[in-house]
């Protein structure tokens, strides 16, 4: 892992504005990778990745798990946050300190101070997996930003407007990139296009996305 990390370096233009309160921090998570990747394995051992079902009866193509005081979940009854993993009957794994530090510092770098995430949704993408356009609106307080960390295979992030039919920007995301959005951009539609099978040197044929939120 240490040797592979030598080939990863921040890009020449580390910040990209997507909106008045939305920003891509290129390579921001790279210094955290050696702590974060092993922690994902610990989380998976406690609360394994699984395909969840949407209220409409569709099975999500990504597999997911959670860590933190609250975890996002979905089934035929709807989208919601729970303090307990419905598959294990136990609390979700504690959010690793490195996760929280990464999220808080990324939020601050994107001009959102005092971010206190209590939920981290961990999505695992394999080739062909996608995430349809949606809004993050199951949280109680929209005042806190969303912090989204990309690890592994590159992806194309879709960032739209406040209506599903609004035009979307196609934003390439690479290993270590972090997207932060909040404020007037907090409820913008977003998604991920189907992933191509382009293995990453460290992560192989998978992409891990960490989405931090203040849910409670």
Domain map of the chain by residue range? 2-8+16-213
Residues of the chain with pLDDT under 70: 1-13
Specify the pLDDT at position 13.
63
Q: Is the dihedral of CA 19, 215, 129, 54 positive or negative?
A: negative
Contact by Cβ (8 Å): 23, 178: no
pLDDT digit string (tens) for 67-83?
Answer: 999 999 999 999 999 99
CATH code for the part of the protein at 2-8+16-213: 2.60.120.590
Question: For residue 93, which of 52, 65, 125, 115 has the smallest C-alpha distance?
Answer: 65
**Residues 80, 104: Cα–Cα separation, whole Å:** 23
Contact by Cβ (8 Å): 105, 98: no
Specify the pLDDT at position 51.
97
**Residues 118, 100: Cα–Cα separation, whole Å:** 9
pTM over 0.75: yes
């Amino acid at each position: 892992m240490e040797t592979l990390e030598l080939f990863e370096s921040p890009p020449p233009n580390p910040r990209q504005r997507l909106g008045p309160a939305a920003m891509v921090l290129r390579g921001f998570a790279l210094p955290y990778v050696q702590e974060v990747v092993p922690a994902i394995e610990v989380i998976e051992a406690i609360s394994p990745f699984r395909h969840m079902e949407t209220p409409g009866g569709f099975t999500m193509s990504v597999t997911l798990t959670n860590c933190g005081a609250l975890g996002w979940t979905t089934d035929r009854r709807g989208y919601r946050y729970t303090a307990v993993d419905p598959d294990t009957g136990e609390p979700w794994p504690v959010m690793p300190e490195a996760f929280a530090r990464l999220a808080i510092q990324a939020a601050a770098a994107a001009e959102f101070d005092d971010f206190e995430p209590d939920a981290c949704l961990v999505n695992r993408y394999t080739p062909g997996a996608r995430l349809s356009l949606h809004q993050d609106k199951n949280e109680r307080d929209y005042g806190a930003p969303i912090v989204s960390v990309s690890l592994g295979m590159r992806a194309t992030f879709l960032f739209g407007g406040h209506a599903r039919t609004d035009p979307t920007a196609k934003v390439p995301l690479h290993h270590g990139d972090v997207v932060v959005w909040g404020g007037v951009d907090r409820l913008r539609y977003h998604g991920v296009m189907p992933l191509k099978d382009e293995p990453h040197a460290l992560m192989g044929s998978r992409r891990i996305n960490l989405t931090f939120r203040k849910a409670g």
